[in-house]
Amino acid sequence: MDFLPFLVTQCLNALSQAALLFFLGCGLTLIFGIMRIVNFAHGAFFMLGAYVGYSTVHWTGNFWTALIAAPILVGGFGAAFELGILRRLYGRDGHAFLMVTFGLTLVMGEVIRLIWGVEALQVKPPESLSDIVFILDEPFPVYRLFLAGAGIVVALVIWQFLERTRLGLLIRATSQNAEMVHALGTDVRLVRSAVFGIGCGLAGIGGVMAAPLVTASLGMAPNAVIDTFVIVIIGGMGSFLGSLIGAVLVAFVQVFGTYYFPDFALAFMYLIMVTVLVVRPGGLLGKEA
Give residues in contact with another protein (CB under 8 A).
38, 40, 85, 88-89, 94-96, 98-100, 102-107, 109-111, 113-114, 218-219, 221-223, 225-226, 229, 233, 263, 266-267, 269-270, 273-274, 277-278, 281, 289
What minimum distance in Å lies between the beta carbon of 176 and another protein? 20
Taking the least distance from each CB to another protein, the nearer of 49 and 283 is 283
Taking the least distance from each CB to another protein, the nearer of 95 and 166 is 95
What minimum distance in Å lies between the beta carbon of 218 and another protein? 8
User: Is residue 224 within 8 Å of residue 42, measured between CB atoms?
Assistant: yes
Distances (CA, A) of 141 to 12, 104, 145, 230, 259: 10, 35, 7, 27, 17
What minimum distance in Å lies between the beta carbon of 32 and another protein? 10
Taking the least distance from each CB to another protein, the nearer of 61 and 94 is 94
Report the b/e string of 241-277 with b at 16+ CB within 10 A: ebbbbbbbbbbbbbbbbbeeeeeeeeebbeebbeebe
What minimum distance in Å lies between the beta carbon of 109 and another protein? 6
Tell me which amino acid residue 64 is: W
What minimum distance in Å lies between the beta carbon of 206 and another protein? 18
Taking the least distance from each CB to another protein, the nearer of 40 and 51 is 40
Calpha distance 129→148 (Å, rounded):
13
In terms of C-beta density within 10 A (0-12 exposed, 13-18 middle, 19 or more buried), how is residue 142 classed? Answer: middle
Length of the chain in terms of residues written: 289
Taking the least distance from each CB to another protein, the nearer of 79 and 170 is 79
Calpha distance 236→115 (Å, rounded):
36
